[in-house]
Structures are given as structure tokens and as C-alpha cells.
Structure 1
Amino acid sequence: MRKQYSAAALLMLGALASTTAQAQDATRIQNKIIGADNQPELVVFNAAGKASYKAADAAVVLRQQLSLTTEDQMLSVRTEADQLGFTHQKFSQYYKGVKVEHASYSVHAKSGAVESISGDFEKITGLNTTPSLNEAAALAQALASVGARKYMWQNAAEEAGLKRQENNAKATYAPKGELVIVRDARRGESGPMVLAWKFNVYAAQPISRAFIYVDARSGEVVLKDDIIKHAAATGTFATAYSGSRSMADGTTTNGYYVRELTRGNGIETYNCKKGNSYTNAVDFVDGDNNWTSTEYNNTNMDNTAFDAQFGAQATYDYWKNVHARNSYDNAGAKIKSYVHFDDTPGDGVGYENAYWNGSVMTYGDGATRFRPLTSMDVCAHEIGHAVCSSTANLTYSNESGAMNEGFSDIWGAAVESYAVNTLGATSSGVKAKSTWLIGEEIDKVQAALRSMSDPNAFNQPAYYKGNYWYTGTGDNGGVHTNSGVLNYWYYLISAGKTGTDEKGVSYSVSGLGISASAKIAYRTLSVYLTSSSTYSNCRSASIQAAKDLYGAGSTAEQSVTNAWAAVGVGAKYSSTTTVTYCASKGTNVTYEWIDYVKLGTLARTSSADGGYYNGTALAAPSIGAGTSQTVSFSAGFSGTAYTEYWKVYIDYNQDGDFTDASELVVSGSSSSTGTLSGTFTVPSTAKTGNTRMRLVMSDASATTSCNSYNYGETEDYTVSITGGAAIAGFSGSTSSSLTGNTSLLGDEAARTLQVYPNPATDAVRIVLPGNAEATMVTVTDLRGARVSTTTFSNGTLNVSSLARGMYTLTVSDGQKTFHQRLVKQ
């Protein structure tokens, strides 16, 4: 006779099928890095995963690996190919059809198979996506926060110029609102996600341009993401002038213009004539194409236009020849530069700034602090911001903003080195260049703006959250100060160094040279980072980039890892420290926790540890390959002893996961408060050395080695394998069930009380071990008071009358009594 299932049972079967799919999926993963928000930021697939996931299945991979719901959408933005043979398909995240700002994920494939996925996925639930503030009201709030005297759309000439530039009669600087979901930056990286109106606000007096995000319900400004990254105010400029150079330019019937026509869609430089209008800017014109210092080294400093032009050309050539990138957008975008710009014409004070405004380069002539700001790595730095906007688009605040600035300094150093070593220098007026000093030639007040080789010399941190680390709200959270950490990291991997960090820990980093280091930095930025990335994310991304380019275990990977350790982000390189384990944590330890663990010389008694305990720094017990071992443990309960599911894992091949065959060494369930134990045999082919052992105790049987689950606790320890293999490659089965006082042996589903669905709304199905008949079923609330409004019949408990909350079921078959937690939705 075919067995009939109730609706509740079918729900349970669906959950079991999902669990099976998750287990199968876990066998495809080589390494998974979980971020602080408990969401995966990098998943690398093993051979089985590459065989299972094809590049054409990118959307399916994301849906499975990110556990997307019907309210989540990942929409493809673009696909790019690189010089290593990878294709990178980038997706933007949407929730209920609304774009989640700064949240994106990429699928990296090679030869048609998915190698890895990476990015930032925001887990959003229950967010109302209907605004209570209309666009006009939100714009008023945005403009009030800027407080400019005049805006670009209020200038008819600039509006007309934009229409000509865009070849679009409808083009305007006037902000148009877009509804997005964004993190409330006022509360830091852990701030809530809110529905917001996004505006691109371009102010003319005083000059600023930023994306302003206004909460669509409260009207408060929750984030300002600067498009114009002001350089002078915080010293983000270059090192030296370029002197006399041979440059291609354009011609007209009137003479020669400072326009280059062979690179991308062109490189052009214009004269703002000490005004603040791009529309009124004019060409520099020369009759004989011999732009001499006698003509142009004048009181207006017109020769600075040539520095701007050559700097843009050198930057274009660097990106094209070193990174195969066609201009800043990789589509040949025209690079326009405007010199002799003055934000307040007629005041007699030159503009001490240079910036990329999202479309063009703008240079002031300087005044008391700076000389004219058209030096080569000002160009490279500012155009580097445009590269960032077209790749990771790092948000310009806090750590992501500091990295935005740091990467631009990296390109300043890299372009300068490239220009000197590849393009050469003429004998006419070229000043000495110092790759690692930023702005030593334009700064009139001090020796330089910044030092990449010694950030502390100019009040920047060389160590994460160390000396000179800025913690205030000014300068968008210290973006021009805390960039020193990334600068020093890049210097270390480029030049190499042995020393002692601020904490007194020694380090040794092998130098890779500027070119190889820049390739690692570029792949980090363009492939793996996202808008909201932090320094921790950057470490993981750059290590993966080094592996992609130069191989796992290479000198490059070791240098990158050791340099991060030297600046206070992560551990030094070793065969195990590059392994990052997934997160596993119980969110509630009010009722049960792990209170005892013993394996060999390891013996630890504890109370609740907040859902997770990291004991990897404790002395590691030795377990010999091929030997039999016994691990013991017990649960602590605050009251009722619930049935708990125990799983013990050991990463035998030290690859950073517990999904390989035989790495689940003990599993079982029990409601005992006594000591339980499981015996297992260490495979003879287990890799010699220290590795991780993980114990998971959960009230849910489906909990795996990589879960955030409701009730219970996870504890991690280090064990030392001796006499094993030099490399990974073990085989065999070592899994064991639990033994001990009142433990439940054998198949879990057959020997434990089954209650499903749980959480429940109307009814739950109760199945006793061996399908025994329940002689007594009681329900008690959190106070321990019995609830009398439920009814039990034919294996089904009617809970429709219960209020929402948590209850305890007590079920007996006349011989044994079982306790199980029930959540009523």
C-alpha cells in the first residue's frame, strides 16, 4: 500500500530535499569566505563544482549559493574577458524590483566552467519599498544638505554645453531621483538598509558633486558619496612635472591644438582662462606646432596645459599597454582636461585643487599651498578614480573610501614609474621623480603630501587602526588619511622589506616589483572588490588575485599575505593561515550550549560562549594518522534537556572546509546532560600538520558545518595530525555515531522525536521513534505553564489557537519521554 503524507509531512520532505541539495552543493566547494554579515564574499569551486556549474548557469549558481528568495533578483550588468582567459559576469542586486545600491556579485568562469563567485550580497527581509516621501520633497532635502549658492543646471551656458557634449537635446545637470535601497551610513557599516531617493547633485558655487541619498520615509540624508574627490584640501596630488615632451596633437585651419586623436576617442586639453565655466573654455592654439617655453612659460603658466596633456596620454598608455584597458571605462572614453580653472574668478586667489568630476579633469593654478596642479601623477591619481568608478566603484567614505584613495595613489606611482622607465625622459627640464613620495614637487609648504614607504612621516597610518588612524567623521571618515594602510601594503609588495610592525611582530615581505604588484592590485579592484568592500575584503581579494595571476603557494601569494600581516590585516602566510573557514554560529544560547569538550590533551569546561567559541589558539592535541581517537563532549541546559544534534568535523586535507569525504567524523543526537563520546579513525592519508576541528551542537538536524542556526553552539579547535601525508589526498570513511549516557544510537530520523513543520502556523505532525503511539502530549509556555487550548489526534497537534512565540512539547510513548522546542508563527 502506498504511504499517504499529510501536507505537513510533505513540507518536511521538501525541507529534507533542500538539505540534501545543500549537502550535495557543499561537495562542490573548495573554499568559502564568509563576511562579517555572515554572507559569502568569495566561493571557490573544486573540480566537482567546475564540472557541475557552467558559465551559462551563472544566475543559477548565484541563486543556489546566495540562497536567494523570490524577492531577490540578480540582474546581469556586463560580461568582460581578461588576459588570463577568465570571463567575469557582473550582476546587480535588486530587492522587490528596487536596486540595492553598492551590492553586486560576479561569476568568474574559465573554459566555460565557473571557477568562483565573489561580491557583496545584502540579506534583506521585510523592507517596505513604497516611499512616503515624493521625489520633489526628497530633492529639497538633498539640496538643503548641500547648501550651494548656485548649481550647474542654473547656468544656461553650462546646460547648453552639456547638450552639445552629449549630443542630446534633453541632457541636463538637473538631478533626477532614483529609488534605491542603501545602507544608512550614519550608523556605520552595520547600519540598516533603507529605501532612499538617489540624486546626482552638481554644485557650481562652491564646487561639489556627489550622490546624495535621502531616506524615502524620514527625509533624512543617510549617505553622501562624493563624485568629485577633492585633492588639494587633503593633499591627493602627484610628484613632479614632465618637462618638454614630444606629443601628437590636432590641427585646424587656424593652427595646432592640444588634442591627441590616436588614443581611444581622443585626449584634449582646454583653457578655462581663470574662469569656472567648461562651456566658455577655449583651445590653446599654436601656429607652427613648436610650443616653446619662450611662448608658454609665461605669467599665466600656459605650459601647464602640456603637463596635463602628457599626463593624460601617459596614463592612457599605461592602462592600455600594461592592463589592456582602453581608457578609464575600457571603451575608449575621451579624456578631457581643463586648466586655469578658478572656482571664484576675480578674487585674485588661484584655485588650489584638481579633481575628476565624473566626466572631465579639472586643474587649478594653485596659490599659497600649491604650485600649478598639472603634474603627472595628479592625472594618474584622478583618472584612477574614474577607473575605480567603472570597476569596483568603491563608496567614497570610511574604509571603502580610503581604499578608493589608496588605489589612486597606487596608479599615481605606477604610471609615474611606467612613464619614466618606458617612455623615457627628455633632457629638457625634467625634474627628479620619487616614486614613493606623493606631491613633493607641487607642495610649497612641506616636503611632500604623503609617503607610501613611510606613511607615518606625514601623519598617515601604516598599520590598520594603528598610529594616526582617523576615527572621526571629517573627510568622509578619513579617506585621505587611512589610505596610508593600502599605500604601505603596495609599497611592501613592490619593494619588499623586512622589519617589525607597530605591535612588535617581525615581518618579511619579498618584493615583486611595481609592475607585478600593480597587476595584482588591478585584478583585486576590477574583479573581486565591490562598492562596500573593507580592508579585510581587500586582503581576501588580493590573495585570490595573486593566486589567479601567479599560482597558489607562489611568491606573489606569500608576499601579498605577509604584507597584509605587516599592516595589521590578517595573519602571515603559511600552509594553513591562508585557509579561511566559513562561519558557523548559534544565534541563541539561552536554553542550551556546549559545556565540555575533550580530545587527547584538550579538555575544556565552559558555560555559554555566545553561540561560537574560537579555541584554535589553545594547545593542539596530537592525533596520529591511522590511529583510533575518541572525542567527548556534553551539553549544558538552562532548564529542559532538549534533543540536540551533534556533529564533529576535522579538516583532514587542510583546504579550509569540512565537505570532503570522511571529514564528518562523528554525528548523532541525544537529549542527555551527560558526557557523550564518539570514536573515529584518522585516515592514514590525512595531511600532516595543524588543522581545524569543529563541533556543532544544534536543535536542528539539518544544520551543517557552515550555518547560522537558531539554538545551540559551535566551537572550533586546532588539532595536530602526525605521521600523515605531506599533501592532501586522503580517502576512507571515518564517521561514527554517539555513545554515552542515554544517547540515541543509529539513524537520527528513526531514533528521535520528529516534529514538523517547525516553525508552525496551524498544525504539526508528531512522529515518535519506531512510529510508536504517543500516549501523552503536553504543551508548556516559556513560564513553564501548561497550555490547554491545543488538541492532539492521529499524530497531529492542532496549534492554531496558540499565540505567536516559543513553546516546549513533551511527548511520551509510555516508556520514554521526549522534549522538543516548538515555534508558533
Structure 2
Amino acid sequence: MKQKLLLTLWCLFLLSSITAQKKRNCYTMDNFEYRKIKNPSIKDKLDELEKFTQKKLLEIKEKDQKIERDIIKIPVVVHIIYSNDDENISMKQIQSQIDVLNEDFRRLNSDKTEQWLQAADSGIEFYLAQVDPNGNLTNGVTRKFSSRTSWGTADAMKLSSQGGVDAWNTSEYFNMWVCNIGGGILGYAQFPGGEAATDGVVMGHQYFGSSDKGTDFYLSAPFDKGRTTTHEVGHFLNLRHIWGDGGCGVDDFVEDTPESDGSNFGCATTHESCGSLDMVQNFMDYSDDACMNLFTIGQKNRMRAVLEEGGVRNELALSDKTTNLSCSASIPSGLSASNITYDEATISWEQVTNASYEIRYRPVGANDWFLITASQIPTIIKDLTGLTEYEVQVKSICPSESSDYSPTITFITTETPPMYCESAGTNVSDEHIQIVQIGTINNTSETNTGYSDYTDISTNLEKGIEHTITVTPEWSDTVFKEGWGVFIDYNQDYDFDDEGEVVYVKEPSSEVPFTGTFVIPDNALSGATRMRVVLKFNSTPDACGIFSYG
């Protein structure tokens, strides 16, 4: 939440049209300043990270000959989240991006020049993981269909609880999410030291891959050469923007990059500032993809510092997700569906040795397939529609090949029962409801997911007399002002909209515990009755709604 994102280096590339030229801009430092206001301790944490980095840079400088011989190979998993066929980018386009990363980070790119003598091979390589977290073989790509067309910058794409895809173990895999972020944003990265569950980089489909390496790719010029991802991976490995996000005299913590008074756009190769020629070809500037071509020796050492022993990303550098296992991608047989409800079904099939799988399903007669990647048999498909006939197919995936899809099976979901409206916080790492006390209920929350269901707990309350409810929040660090509310469905009609069902609300406060009183009306129905308790950062909550913090 407010703190969860504090160690995130947000690089939000925005496209705009100025004098008929596409330009990009990054909100990294704007976001950083905002987060410092919310959590002043973030500066201390980043200062500690920088102290370690500078110490490591000195060690690297002393052992430069040894470091040059060590090639660090990083396993990558790419999570494709798409809402249409264009966004479900091909394996060839994905591989083109991995190829660009290896060329750029090893200084093997064909567009390199000798203009800047400090240009360097970083000795860092990337490959699509061949083994998934369950030990099955994989091509290093997951795919998921979503009707959501814009994901924003609050990391929803990284969390299955918010419709996205959970990260594979971020100490063993470099996670890349490819989705439509929205708002013209190209991508952003998380800086070393942030929360593990959201660690990685995010890119838009149209900026992931290179038009130099194939045709029919879903890309958008002038950011169609794969350099957005190169730039974001630089941030992931602790690089700042080359101009230091300030004017002359502001440091990017790299000795051999010239000072600059700001970002450069297009390909302004003759632009001078701060008394020297700007290095507009550097991957950490804002030039067009075709203009970028180098990292420097200083940037190489800074990136390797976080990957070497003691660095924040050393486990990732040591991770080996290659395999010698054999895998033949044959068509899975024995496909079946069971445990069918209104919104999910369990899908089973016969195992293909060492393979992982793709399942696709859709309502019969629909054009678009929903698609998920699976490594376990059986797998549950979710978010189905009640009383709908679905068709399902599955195929096997090996590192170098995939099978055709299996023959189709169909099943029909059950009727959807009445449902209460949604209510949840999307960022929950800073505060949550710890304890609720009312009647004989004295419940301590065991989870912190933005919404918890404790309808298996009950108490008997008498009509016409006053009852007291006490709510105790818990904060992970900074104590914030929280508003809270209690809502009871007295007439049991699956909403909290009727008169008197807003039982108690309190304006934002940091005084704890929160205590309120209420009287159950005589006309309330007897029997099992739903109560909802909502905590919301710095605002009085409603019974329904998805909000950022709480």
C-alpha cells in the first residue's frame, strides 16, 4: 500500500504528441517524492542500499579482471495478460525481446558505435526459464486472458487476487508482466529492495519485442526495437536515469556518464548541456529506441553490484532454471471436467511427461478464448458465468515445442446464487483490520488480502437493545488515519442499501481501538444475517467498492 510501493522505482513512460513527435516521460522522481511524504523512512532505506552499492563498486573496481570473466545468466518468466488477439503476442515476438536484452547487455547490438569509449559489455545475459516452480518443463511464458483492458500502476497485474498473475518466486525468476497499463504508459520497474511479491518489470505489449527481428509483431514505433525493456531492466538492476532526474550537478551515481540538464528525446546527438555533449545514446536516457545503443563501464559495475555476493539480487544471479530433462509435446488425452459450480470447474487430463500446459476455454459460440498456463493436474478454472455451456481444450508445452490442442469437451455451470457487492482494498501491506469484537465474537484476522470472509463465525444479538462493536486495526509501520464503517443486511436481501443498514460510520482517525454502538430495529428479520466491517485509509467508507488502501 502506501509503503509497499515505496521501494518501487516507478518508471511510467507516457506517450504524448508534441509537434507531431511521440515522446516519452518518466514519473519516477515525482512518485518518489510523493512516497517520501507518505513514508519518510523510505529515504533511510534507499540510503542504506546506496551505501552497500558504493562499497561493492569499490570491490568490483579492485577485482575488475575477475569480474570480466564471470557471465551472469538470469532466468526470465514472461506473464502475458491480454484482452484481445493482438495483445496475445507470439512466442517469436517474446523471444525477440530476450534477444534484444542479450545483445544490449552484452554489447552485441548491431547498432553500437565507437563514439563513447566507456561503452561496456555488462556480462549479464537473460534466458526464458525452462523449469517452472513445480519442477515441470516450461517455455518461460504464461498467458492469461482478461476482460480488463487497462491495469494501471498499482501492481494489480502482479496479483491473482486482483485478476492478474502472481509472480513466480522472485528470488529465482526475473518476472516480466506484459499487459496494457493504460494512460499511454510504456512500462515501469521495481527498484531493488522492494516487496518480493511485486518484484519485476511491467511493459505494454506494443513495446515488448523488436521489429528488426520479425514481421507481424504487435509493436508501435518509435519504441519498437525492444529498448523500453532494456531501460526498465536497467532500473531493475539499480540504474537511475542518466541525467539523475535533475539539472546540472545532480548525480545518477555513475562516474563515467556525463552530466545533463535533463532527458533527451528523439535522437538529439549534438545536444550539449552542463559543459559537455549529452550521451543521448545511453539506454537510460529517453531517446527513441533506434538512437539508444550503450551502457557504460560505470553502469555495468553498478548493475553487477546488486547481482554479486551480498547484493539484493544475488539469489537471482545464482538461480539455474535450465534443464537436461527430455520433453515431447504430445496432445494430452483424457480431458474431463468435474466439481462444476456457478463460477468454477476442475479440469483434468492425462499427464505428458515433464510438460507444462495451456488450457483454453470459452462459452460455446463465443469468439474469444480465455487462456491460462498450468503446471498441475487437475487445474481449477475460475470466474465463470452461471448457467453457461463452456468448451475446453488443453495442450502440452515443452521448452522448445508445444503440441496442438486436445479434442474439445463441454460442461454447463450451475445457477448463480444471490451475491453481495464487492468491497476490498487493493493495497493492503500497510494496514488491515486485526480484531473485531461484538457479542461473543472476538475474531483476529488471519489473512490480509483486502477482503476476508468470516461468515462461518456468528453471535446472537437481541433486537431493541444497544450493542457495542470494537474494531482494532493493525499497521505495519506508520500509523495512518483510518475511517471505518459497520453495515448489516437487516432484511437479508443481499445488499446494505435499505434504511438503517448503515449501522455505524466514523470519520478518519488514528485513535484505537474504534468503538461504536447501535440498536437492532424490531423489524429486522431473525436468523443468519450478514454484517460487513470496512476500514479505509483517510476516508469514510461505503459498504461497497474497490478502493486503494484499507
For the criterion TM > 0.5, the same-fold answer is: no
What's the TM-score once normalised by structure 1's chain length? 0.22
Q: Tell me which protein shows more helix as a share of its residues.
A: 1
Using structure 2 for the length normalisation, give the TM-score: 0.32
Higher strand residue share: 1
Higher relative contact order (CA 8 A, sep 6+): 2
Structure with bigger gyration radius: 1
